[in-house]
Structure 1
């Protein structure tokens, strides 16, 4: 005998309710313009979870996902969050965030750590071993000296009246926009149907503070001849389809770094890539 029940109710007559879905949105006042779900990732060395946040200068930093007691963290490793931006000092509370590099079991600690932090580091090491044993994570192998035979590993790009250093070869720079399936767009920024830039040897002369640095010639992927909208598309790291899509949030931080002649000197090249990278022409 089947019990009589009202449609939309459980067998005992209680209402059958379903939680309303709340889509992720970006607040209009968000400085980073990045979805909170897109700030999570995994460390490429140990496989543990990390939270990515932009600093005040736009550079990303990977933080440990949990807050730790300020008394257990060295003062040089104190970080706090304000409006989605990471700041390298304490906010006066009893808790702070710490860079993942300090706790990563596959790295040498950046500073002397106390027993509580060593315990967290051991827990992450055990979790890394568990991820490896279950096949979820594989330890990175030694990378070849050049991952892109057609161009530099971290090319210097000229756009919007400035120079930026990429975090990967031009062909590997991927759109950061969110698709309708809430996944990251797989299309590259260097699209075959978009106007290309050109590899050129250009003089780079900079003044760092009060220090005048000598001018030198280096290999640059020049986008300055393209329209402003196209240069902006590269700067926000979007494919042509998402460059004009209003409201498409980002699922990752753009991988550009403002070029620093002292910090990035090892990435400078004095020869044009041959053969030229896809979508470019040799000058």
Structure 2
């Protein structure tokens, strides 16, 4: 007796074989956030637990716990809700809310008073962190020593002046990477600094207090100034896109832009009083 092979497209028992084609992710043109949902997940560098990254209304990132919690168990100052991909403080009137990961991270001090339910969740995350460490799947990042202000090399986290504001970069200027998604659904590997395009200039500018900040002694600090570039180029830097993806606004983002609004008090360790002795461009 010879066995009859199953026809193509069916299992051995004759049932149809269902093949699901991957559906490309898209971002609605009316969405206030250009970040794809696939690029909003990550892991806490201190405890290794999963987090969801979102933009706040002030365009600053915030890490939220992936699961929703009952508002009855979350203190009111720690309640957040999502609308159009943007995180807003306090609840939206529903019985569920999101909570910042910093509140329940087992390796951080809670930023507000927590109850029994939140403390139980913190202990569960602490057990998960210990399991990740024992399995070798996670190693806590030790605190990096800040570079001295007199260092003459390129700053690891430079201060950038663009669009009439100052920002603290996440990486060195030449290492700032495009956040857009490529056709292969991966993050773009091109730098934001165009190899042949216009570049900024290193200058010594006064720290100067920002709006609502305390006055500090007038100290000159090294700033990568982009104010002389065209407005479109400054927008490209602020959105953290390479020249190719700046010309294709329909491409979504796979990561949040790494800019932080510069504060002379909070970011004093990143202030350099000398210009880089080895500039990376023809400056």
Q: Is the contact between residue 146 and residue 270 of structure 2 (CA under 8 Å) also seen in structure 1?
A: no
Partner of 2:58: 57
Q: Please say if residues 102 and 110 of structure 1, whose CA atoms lie closer than 8 Å, have aligned partners that are also in contact.
A: yes
Q: d(CA) in 1 for partners of 2:123 and 2:282?
A: 48
For 1:159, the equivalent position in structure 2 comes to: 162
Please give the residue correspondences for 1:1-283 in structure 2 after superposition, counting only pairs within 5 Å: 1-3=2-4, 5-146=6-147, 150-203=153-206, 205=208, 208=211, 213=215, 216=218, 217-260=220-263, 263-264=266-267, 267-276=270-279, 278-279=280-281, 281=283
Q: In structure 2, do the counterparts of structure 1 residues 176 and 6 end up closer, same or farther at CA, with 3 Å as the change threshold? A: same
- Does the Cα contact within 8 Å between 2:147 and 2:269 map onto a contact in 1? no
Q: Deviations over 1:122-159 (max 9, x none)?
A: 11112112222222211112313229962334322122
| Contact 1:198–1:280 (8 Å) recurs in 2 | no
Backbone CA RMSD of aligned residues = 2.5
Shift of residue 5 of structure 1? 4.3
C-alpha offsets along residues 8-32 of structure 1, whole Å, 9 cap, x if unaligned?
3334433222123211111111101
DSSP-derived class of the 1:180 partner? coil
- What's the CA shift for 1:89? 0.4
Quick check: 2:53–2:61 contact (8 Å CA) kept in 1?
yes
User: Deviation digits for residues 187-228 of structure 1, max 9, x if unmatched?
Assistant: 32234333221110124555625x895794432111122233
In structure 2, the gaps of 5 or more residues are none
Q: Tell me the distance in 1 between the aligned counterparts of 2:254 and 2:282.
A: 27
CA–CA separation in structure 2 for the residues paired with 1:267 and 1:140: 19
More displaced 10-residue stretch of structure 1: 223-232 or 89-98: 223-232
CA change 1:43–1:218 in 2 (3 A) is: same
Do the aligned partners of residues 170 and 229 (structure 1) sit closer, same or farther apart at CA in structure 2, a change above 3 Å counting?
same
Find the residue that maps to 1:275 and give its secondary structure: coil
| CA distance, structure 2, for counterparts of residue 146 and residue 261 of structure 1 | 16
CA gap 1:99/1:177 in 2 versus in 1, 3 angstroms: same
Q: Distance in 1 between matches of 2:190 and 2:134?
A: 32
Partners of 2:161 and 2:167 within 8 A in 1: yes
Cα displacement (A) at 1:39: 0.7
| In 1: Cα distance, 2:238 partner to 2:133 partner | 36
Aligned residues of 2:204 and 2:274 also touching (Cα < 8 A): yes
Gaps of 5+ in 1: none
TM-score under structure 1 normalisation?
A: 0.87
